[in-house]
Structure formats: C-alpha cells, structure tokens
Structure 1
Amino acid sequence: MKDYAGIIVVGIIAFFLLFNVFGGNDQRGMSGSATEDTYGELPSEPDRSEILNTIEMSEAKDIESLVQESFPLLDTVRSDQGISRIYMTKELTLKEVADSLSSAISPEEISERQENKQALIYPDHFVIIQESDEEAGLITIELASDEFVRNNYSPSFFQGLFLGSLLNRALGSNDWYDRRRSSCQQTGNCYGGYGMYGNYNSGGTSSMRGSTNRGGGPGTGK
C-alpha cells in the first residue's frame, strides 16, 4: 500500500507541474483593460460643480492624492517596471481638467494642448489628459509614475507636447529620448497612450493587452 500511495503522490505532483508549464495563462509584461466590444457601465461620479469644488478646496499636498480624491478610477495599467492609474470624467472638458489641476498644484512643466491631449509633469508623476476615442465625451486622466513613463512609453507620444531635452531632464537622463525611440522602433512594442479596450498602440507592429483591473474613486460607493 505504501508503494501505491507513493506512486499516487508522485502522479499528482507531476500533473500540477505539467499544468503550470502548459496549461497556465500567465501573461507577463503589461496588463490593463481586457479587449472588449463595449466597456459596460462607467464608474459614477459627482456633478461638474462638485468636482471643481473638490479640487479647489482640496488640502492634498501632491498630485497623486488630488487626482485620487477628485476623479473615479477607471482602470489600472501595470508592467514589470511601473504602474499607471487611469481616472475619468464626463463632467469636465480636457481644458477644465488641466486648468483645475494645475491651478490647485502647480506642475513642473505643462504642455500645450495638441491632438486632444495635454500633459502635466510633477515630481514622480506624469498626468496625461486625453479625450477618449472610444467613448464620446469621456476624458481620461492617466496618472503615470516616472518609472512607468521611463520604461514603457514611446517618445513619439509626446511629440508636439514636450521637447526631447525636457523629457530627458524630467526623467533624470541625458539621452532617454534617443535611446527609447531607437528601442521602440526596433521592437514596435512600446506603450503609446491608454486605450479603453486593451489596445496600447505604439505606432509599431503590435499592441499590449492584459487582464481587467478596474474600480474605485469618488461616487462608486467605496
């Protein structure tokens, strides 16, 4: 009986080892919203005047806290090197979001508005504000860590927003822009801005997708 029990135990261990090697669905690299035909119900949010009042009256000392308390969380994009949280509003325009945030906490750099997007640079974070291509009237507010931008973003995304030399300085490098551009051209697999249905277009030959990770924020009942 002992011999049979040993064989059974060995067989169970072998099964799980084979499952982990061949049957798992571990997707390394970047993850975010799953590819979908429709997003479903968006997070609820306060009305326009309440959002603006929350920002104006906030005692937040940093941009991360200010964005978190002012807008509902839509999605989270993770990679092996950094994290980017996506917030949203349908109550404010792109200009209102950028102006209200920069008035409450001054950024180190603020870009012009180009192609329905604008970016603010703060210590430790980039705030990238865009008009959604997928949902009419929706503004996404991407709160990306410096680490996430440095290791995932394609420099081409920032064309018309910031000079390469400014990005180098903001990311603590002398040559980030050129090195990253060369890498992105070779791989075609750099992050090029948030897409609600899992497509993180790089302008290259592929895109990045992952598993859904949404929720939180004001007005969600949490």
Structure 2
Amino acid sequence: MPRRPLFLLKIVLVLSFFVSLLSGCGEFGEVTMKETYPLESVNKDGSQTSYIYRAANKTVPEVARELAEQKKPRQISKEDAEHMFLVYSNEWIHVQKDERNPDDTLIEVDSEEYVKQNYSPSFLEGYLVASLIGNMFDSLGRHGDYRGYSSRDVYQPAKQYEAPTAKDKKAIPPLTVERSGSIFKRGQDNSGSSKKVGDNGNVFGKSSSGKIVKEKDGKSGFDSIFSPSKSKKPKTRVGTGKIFKRGRR
C-alpha cells in the first residue's frame, strides 16, 4: 500500500481513539432503569389471591412512591413508615415494613375479594377513608382480622401462604417498576478527582511504567501506536549516481 494512504488511515484511527476517550468522560442526565421485586409467597383460593414481593433495602414510603408513579391509584394512604395502601379498581397494594427484616419492605398485592374476606375493617380505617371501607365491607358480612403479611403469625388470614412454585413464578412474573437514575462521569476515583488520560495528557506511545508518553524522536508518534517497535527509516542502496528507495519501482 502507498505510504500516504497508510499515513492518512493512521490519522483517522488516532482521531477515533481521541473521540472515544472524550466521550467516555462525558456526563449523562437522567435515565430510566428497571427494578424487579421477586415473588416470595402466594395465597390463592378462587377469586381470593394475594402475592407477596420483596423490596430489599427500601423504605415503605420509597416503594409506595415508585408504585404510584408507575400506575396512579384511585386512592393512596398518607405517608407512613410502617404501612401504606394503594387502592386500584380491582386490587389493593399493601406496602408494609418487614418486621422480621426491618431493612426490607414487603409488597402485598391483594385482590378485592381477598381484602373483603380476610382484612380487619378497623385496621384499614386507620389508613384509608371511612367511606371506602364502608363500601367495601358489609356490616353483616364475614370478614377476618388479618392485618398484612408482616403480622401473619398473629393476625392470620383464612388460608396460609405458601412458597411460589415454578408454575406460579411462570404465571405470575416478578413485579417490575421503572425509575429514574443518574449516570456519573467515568474516570473518577473515590476522592472525586478526574483521572488523566496518560501522563501530562499525552497519548502517544507507552513507557515501561505503563504511562502513556510522547515519543522523544520528534516524530508525530503515529507509527509507535500501531507497531510494537519504532518505525524504521526506509533503506536505500547506492547505485551509479542515483538513490533508489526500496519497495518502489
């Protein structure tokens, strides 16, 4: 290949290298990330269904806020560190602190029929408006004293929870929400200072210490990036008064 096109190709590659370095140090804004809460327990009896999910290392208000942003409820209870309710047209979500593991939050997704047949109306009145509870429960009907999965050993539901089977996990996938987050600048250490590209900002050639330094022979350094050894000057031979460069005709 002629030397000039090869030289231009190397320039393009080096410029591409610069662009990748600079873009890697850029800072992006808000991005959307998915977070999945695994299915932990299942309670099914006809139209009465209750599914328990775990949000590790999250508070009750934090999880309730994420769920409400994902799907706006008809009614949401006031912010509380122990229990919060999100009421939808055909299901209720009870967000509750895990009493056995206080760092985690439990998400209980109940069908409306499950709430009617198991929950204590007096317990719900402490979090939701009385008119909603009155419409939900018939004063002469049967209801339980259940107060959520976190206190199931004391206030038991009509039917006990069971670990989800492989069939359950396939039919009822994990609860997934989308939330916003930030991507920070690359190349920063824990002290917050930006890492330099090479020593003194130079990007040509490598020294034995691993730092990237500029060649000291006064050349541009393009050949040293792509070849393990320094580029060699073309050899010549002496004829009768003429100098011929090798590799050319």
Shorter chain as denominator, the TM-score bin is 0.5 to 0.7
Structure 2 residue 80 is matched with structure 1 residue 121:
no
Q: Which of these residues, 92, 100, 113, is aligned with residue 66 of structure 2?
A: 100
Tell me, what secondary structure is at the counterpart of 2:140? helix
Distance 1:158 1:75 in 2: 22
Tell me, what secondary structure is at the counterpart of 1:160? coil
Any conservation in 1 of the 2:85–2:92 contact (CA below 8 Å)?
Answer: yes
Larger Rg: 2
1:24-78 per-residue CA deviation (whole Å, 9 max, x = no partner) reads xxxxxxxxxxxxxxxxxxxxxxxxxxxx8226xxxxxxxxxxxxxx310010123
- 1:128-143 mapped onto 2 (5 Å cutoff): 128-143=94-109
Change in CA separation of 1:211 and 1:155 when aligned onto 2, cut-off 3 Å: closer
Structure 2 residue 112 is matched with structure 1 residue 146:
yes
Offset of 1:191 from its aligned partner? 2.2
Any conservation in 2 of the 1:113–1:161 contact (CA below 8 Å)?
Answer: no
Instruction: Decide which structure has greater helix share.
Output: 1
Name 1:26's counterpart in structure 2. none
Offset of 1:81 from its aligned partner? 4.9
Name 1:191's counterpart in structure 2. 146
Q: Which amino acid is 2:155 matched to?
A: N
Tell me, what secondary structure is at the counterpart of 1:210? coil
Q: Which amino acid is 1:113 matched to?
A: E
Tell me, what secondary structure is at the counterpart of 1:53? strand
Q: Which amino acid is 1:210 matched to?
A: Q
Offset of 1:165 from its aligned partner? 0.9
Please identify runs of 4+ aligned residues in structure 1 that moved more than 2 A: 78-81, 177-180, 189-192, 207-219
Structure 2 residue 139 is matched with structure 1 residue 178:
yes
Offset of 1:149 from its aligned partner? 0.8
TM-score, length basis structure 2: 0.48
Distance 1:190 1:152 in 2: 6
Q: Which of these residues, 117, 126, 130, is aligned with residue 164 of structure 1?
A: 130
- 1:1-222 mapped onto 2 (5 Å cutoff): 53-54=33-34, 70-79=36-45, 81-114=47-80, 116-169=82-135, 171=136, 176=137, 178-180=139-141, 183-184=142-143, 189-195=144-150, 199=153, 201=155, 210=160, 212-214=162-164, 216=169, 218=174
Offset of 1:91 from its aligned partner? 3.4
Any conservation in 2 of the 1:107–1:121 contact (CA below 8 Å)?
Answer: yes
Distance 1:138 1:148 in 2: 24
When the two chains are superposed, the root-mean-square deviation of aligned CA atoms in Å is: 2.8
Q: Which has the higher contact order (CA 8 A, sep 6+)?
A: 1
Distance 2:145 2:54 in 1: 23
Instruction: Decide which structure has greater strand share.
Output: 2
Offset of 1:119 from its aligned partner? 0.2
Tell me, what secondary structure is at the counterpart of 2:149? coil
Distance 1:124 1:218 in 2: 19
Any conservation in 1 of the 2:41–2:161 contact (CA below 8 Å)?
Answer: no
TM-score, length basis structure 1: 0.53
Offset of 1:195 from its aligned partner? 3.5
Any conservation in 1 of the 2:37–2:55 contact (CA below 8 Å)?
Answer: yes
Offset of 1:193 from its aligned partner? 1.2
Q: Any stretches of 5+ residues in structure 1 without a counterpart?
A: 1-51, 56-69
